[in-house]
Chain A
Amino acid sequence: MATYAAPIPQVHAHHVEHESTGWTSWLTTTDHKKIGIMYMVLTFMFFCLGGVEALMIRLQLGAPNNTLVSPETYNQLFTMHGTTMVFLFVVPMMAGLANYFLPLMIGARDMAFPRLNALSFWLLLAGGIVFYASIFWSPPEAGWTSYPPLSSALFSPSGGQDAWIYLIHLTGISSLVGAINFYATIANMRTRGMSWGRLPLFVWAILTYSVLLILALPVVAAAVTMLLTDRHFGTHFYDQAEGGSPLLWQNLFWFFGHPEVYIMVLPGFGIVSEILPVFARKPIFGYKAIAASTVAIAFLGFLTWAHHMFTTPIPEAILVFVMLSSFLIAIPTGVKMLNWIGTLWGGTIEFKTPLLFCVGFLALFLIGGISGVFLAIFPVDWQLNETYFVVAHIHFVLVGGAVFPIFAAIYYWFPKITGRMLGEGLGKLSFWLMFVGVLVTFLIQHVIGMDGMPRRVYEYDNVGNLALYNQISTVGSFILGAGVVATIVNVWRSLKFGAIAGPDPWKANTLEWFTASPPPVNNFDAVPIVRSAEPMKDIRREIERRTTGATSPAGSTQVGA
């Protein structure tokens, strides 16, 4: 440039964009809150579909030698149930909650990459549609773990298996893009004063969730791509007759699959760590220990995948190593248990529905954690593996560790999203039905498994008390279902008739409660400077000081631009 003109300072008219409404605004939105709502609504619909599949499974098993559904349909049902709950409900529901609340909690106006964020959602929807479209032709039936050779073209020729592969690909890209976005947002968009030591624990959990997704997803993407080329393009990665190995799949799948468990429960841990202090009216017990144990669990989660393979032909040294590494995970998990009970200890506990679901989480997840120790002892696992004991274990871990925190989150954050409170009566009914339902459904399944009933069988003979035990479990599953319905009714009614919430109905600790309910498009007109891990507590104290004119020490938080 030869000539250089100094820029002339100009004053731009302040242009206010009106919030667009109507259905096209949802299709074209890049607002993290709208995307978050779409995530939550869509994944909750998949939760209901997966729940209906679970109830059909339990109906079939409600009587010995039942002929309600065919073996083919039964295999399709449990494949759809497992895949839906993992890939279309828990993981993306956590992404939906994080989408909505993560920017608010760190005082940001949106995610780091809003358009990538929209892409994440639409890829998830595409994956769900591809997968569920298969019910009109032939759904997959090789289980959510889809071990070859059963999932190979020879034994599963139907396109349902391919629909499953595309689901893993599409939701995988969706989660990967989302995880990068969360990471970038947390790393770069925290408001002034929000250092790593003041990050809300839910944000710590989402940070860890994102790192786990980034490390684990490429592995399963490679595994299913090889399955796809084995099925259609003449490769032999999993074909022992041509020098491949079916065990390769088990290693790759579980290298992803075990961290996937922590991808599902760590955000739940985060939700509980946010809610317990609010209703105990007490700071979280051991903030650093919770953040550090989250990271420790994530790291150890990558060393234990072979405990899903204790009955395969693998060397004894690996059996021993994996038993010990699985034991190690119990230590940071136990630390968290202490911290949560320590948070309640000495508090003034208000038994609102979000707290009840968190307490339910503590009680149920403990059972899943303890049964996990049995499964880590590999000789004991030789008896329990692939039986209903394992079914009971995964449901205590996932219903306890993910579904209950998700319901706690629904009751806790619904006022922020909609501006209205959910009904406490229906909420408590929902909690008690779900809590009792889980215990009745899954406790007895430990015994069913130890009596010799393998999982994934469409029928069983009435040996011993198997018929009675299975009936108990089936009754429990319908109690659990009724609990979910109570929350759906509650949400439906409260959208119109719920009490007006105001910006901070719970007197909570984190920044999302600083703005209006529902928050405006730009989230905050002014973001406070953060001085501690509980900025809202500081703000309330400051307001109290100013209004009462007391001469307490200067408040630790100022409201700035």
Chain B
Amino acid sequence: MSHAIPSVLAFFAPESGGSPNANDIDDLYKITLVIALIIFFAVEGGLVYALVKFRKRKGAVANQIHGNTRLEVGWTAGAAVVLIALGGLTFAKLSSIQDPPNSGPSGTTLGEQNNVLYASNERKLPPNGKALEIEVIGKQYIWQFVYPGANEPDGLGAPYSYEEMVVPTNTTVSLDIVSQDVVHSWWIPELGGKFQDVPGYHNYTWFKISKPGLYRGQCAFLCGRGHARMIASVRAVPPAQFETWLARQKQEISEANKEAAKARAKLNEHGGAEKVENP
């Protein structure tokens, strides 16, 4: 629906096009915009008409009326009807914005190994319960993304990346958004709305990308002096490519960890461990 809109209207609308929830928000926005523009031009038009028509002229006498109850009641009812319509529209769109769909047939199957029966009344999962879960960690001033594939039950050894999240196309990706220090806000405009990372809380959203490509965004809540530079991006690639990337990322991280362990052992031998902070 929204994808073929004229570019003039796009000038007045938020970004969309990456994920179905962003597109649904965009539709809801545009319907609201049309109603708003009608009200705007009617009221400003009435104001301008009154100013021109009733400006002071020779011989004109002001009409000494104190009110019009029927008009006032009618206006109130009219406003209420418009708002009820907007509320109904929001409820009609709400489930498609909030509830993630199933992954497409060509999506990655990695999600099926993870959280198949995730029980949460806050996190919305696709009808079949299968989604690729990625943890989004905000910290001053960088984003970290932790992917499924931990070696150990406590989550250690899971592959991760910074700043750029890589995801498979046609796959429902469920995000678990947390913060390590202050309040941040996760936002990739083309992939849907913002969700605050509040320390001590989990926040959830999802997206499902059909077109491979790079989707840019940045932290949307003031988090300190580096706030403007806390950028984020999501790169969507075909599922096979994603699985290769993830395996390589995992291997590289585990190799780097081994190197680090070796270096630590060497330091310990030389009795220098106490001089190293945060081993």
Is B43 at the interface (CB under 8 A from chain A)? Answer: yes
List chain B residues, Cβ under 8 A from A280.
54, 62
B65 touches A282 (CB 8 A): yes
**A378 — which chain B residues lie within 8 A by C-beta?**
90
CB contacts (< 8 Å) of A339 on chain B: these are: 67, 72
Distance of A383 Cα from B189 Cα, bound (Å): 7
Q: A351-B55, A454-B220 are in contact. Are A286 and B62 (CB under 8 A)?
A: no
Closest to B26 in A: A383
Expressed in whole angstroms, the Cα–Cα distance for A316 and B138 within the complex equals: 23
Structural contact, A383 and B94, CB atoms closer than 8 A: no
Cβ-closest chain B residue relative to A293: B76
Across-interface contacts of A287 in B (CB, < 8 A): 66-67
Taking a contact as CB atoms under 8 Å apart, the answer to whether A155 and B225 are in contact is no
Which residues from 168 to 215 on chain B have a C-beta closer than 8 Å to any C-beta of chain A?
A: 181-183, 185, 187, 189, 192-196, 198-204
Of A344, A381, A455, the most chain B CB neighbours within 10 A belong to: A344
From the candidates B39, B71, B182, B228, name the one contacting A460 in the complex (CB within 8 A): B228
CB contact under 8 A between A286 and B72, given known A349-B51, A374-B32, A460-B228: yes
Which residues of chain B have C-beta atoms less than 8 A from A72's C-beta? 225
List of A residues within 8 angstroms of B61 by Cβ: 348
Also in contact, A150 and B199, with CB within 8 A (given A334-B79, A380-B29, A456-B227) = no
Tell me if B182 and A289 are in contact (CB < 8 A).
no
**What B residues does A451 contact at CB under 8 A?**
15
Contact of A474 with B by CB under 8 A: no
A344 contacts which chain B residues (CB < 8 A)? 47, 50-51, 54
B57 at the interface (CB under 8 A from A): yes
Give which listed residue, B28, B181, B189, contacts A379 with CB less than 8 A: B28
A447-B60 in contact given A240-B200, A286-B72 (Cβ < 8 Å): no
Contact in complex: B54, A370 (CB < 8 Å): no
Q: Is the CB of A311 within 8 A of B194?
A: yes
| Contacting pair A327 B222 (CB below 8 A) | no
* A143 nearest CB across to chain B (Å): 5
State whether the Cβ of A142 lies closer than 8 Å to any Cβ in chain B. Answer: yes
**One of A100-108, A358-366, A512-520 at the interface:** A358-366
**B72 engages A338 (CB within 8 Å):** yes
Q: Chain B's interface: helix, strand, loop or mixed, by majority?
A: mixed
Could you mark each residue 296-337 of chain A with 1 if its beta carbon is under 8 Å from any beta carbon of chain B, else 0? 000000000000000111011000000110011011001101
Q: Is A157 close to B, CB under 8 A?
A: no
**B72 touching A313, Cβ below 8 Å:** no
Interface assignment of B221: CB less than 8 Å from any CB of chain A: yes
What total of A-B pairs shows CB separation below 8 Å?
A: 243
With A and B bound together, what is the CA distance between A351 and B57 in angstroms?
12
**A184 proximal to B (CB < 8 A):** no
Query: Does B238 touch A at the CB level, under 8 Å?
Result: no
Chain B residue numbers with a CB within 8 Å of A347 are: 54, 62-63
Q: How far is the CB of A538 from chain B (nearest CB, A)?
A: 13
Instruction: State the CA gap A71–B68 with chains docked (Å).
Output: 55
CB-CB contacts below 8 Å: A381-408 with B: 381-387
Contact of A456 (CB < 8 Å), options: B15, B43, B97, B222: B222
Tell me if B62 and A281 are in contact (CB < 8 A): yes
A379 lies within 8 A of B193 (CB): yes
Q: Min CB distance, B233 to chain A, in Å?
A: 12
Segment from B80-88, B250-258, B259-267 that makes contact with A = B80-88
The CA-CA distance from A279 to B270 in the complex, in Å, is: 89
Write out the residue numbers on chain B whose beta carbons fall within 8 Å of the beta carbon of A370.
Answer: 36, 39-40
The closest CB in chain B to the CB of A316 belongs to B98
- Is B76 touching A331 in the complex (CB atoms < 8 A)? yes
Partner of A387, one of B97, B204, B220: B220
Q: Does the CB pair A331–B80 fall under 8 Å? A: yes
Determine if A384 and B221 form an interchain contact, defined as CB atoms under 8 angstroms apart.
no
Q: Which residues does chain A contribute within 8 Å of B66, judged by CB atoms?
A: 283-287
In the complex, whether A450 has a CB less than 8 A from a CB of chain B is yes
Q: Which residues of A contact B55 (CB under 8 A)?
A: 348-349, 351
When the two chains form their complex, are residues B72 and A335 in contact, meaning their CB atoms are under 8 A apart? yes
- Residues on B lying within 8 angstroms of A by beta carbon are 11-15, 22, 24-26, 28-29, 32-33, 36, 39-40, 43-44, 46-47, 50-51, 54-57, 60-68, 71-72, 75-76, 79-80, 83, 86-87, 90, 93-94, 97-98, 122, 140, 181-183, 185, 187, 189, 192-196, 198-204, 216-229
Could you list 6 examples of A-B contacts with CB < 8 Å? A155-B140, A348-B60, A377-B90, A380-B28, A380-B29, A450-B15
Which residues from chain A sit less than 8 Å from chain B, CB to CB?
71-72, 75, 141-143, 147, 149-150, 155, 240-241, 245-247, 280-289, 311-313, 315-316, 323-324, 327-328, 330-331, 334-335, 337-339, 341-342, 344-351, 359, 362-363, 366-367, 370, 373-374, 377-387, 446-447, 450-452, 454-460, 463
Question: Closest 10 A-B residue pairs measured CB to CB?
Answer: A382-B193, A240-B200, A346-B63, A457-B228, A286-B67, A383-B14, A281-B62, A334-B79, A71-B225, A327-B83
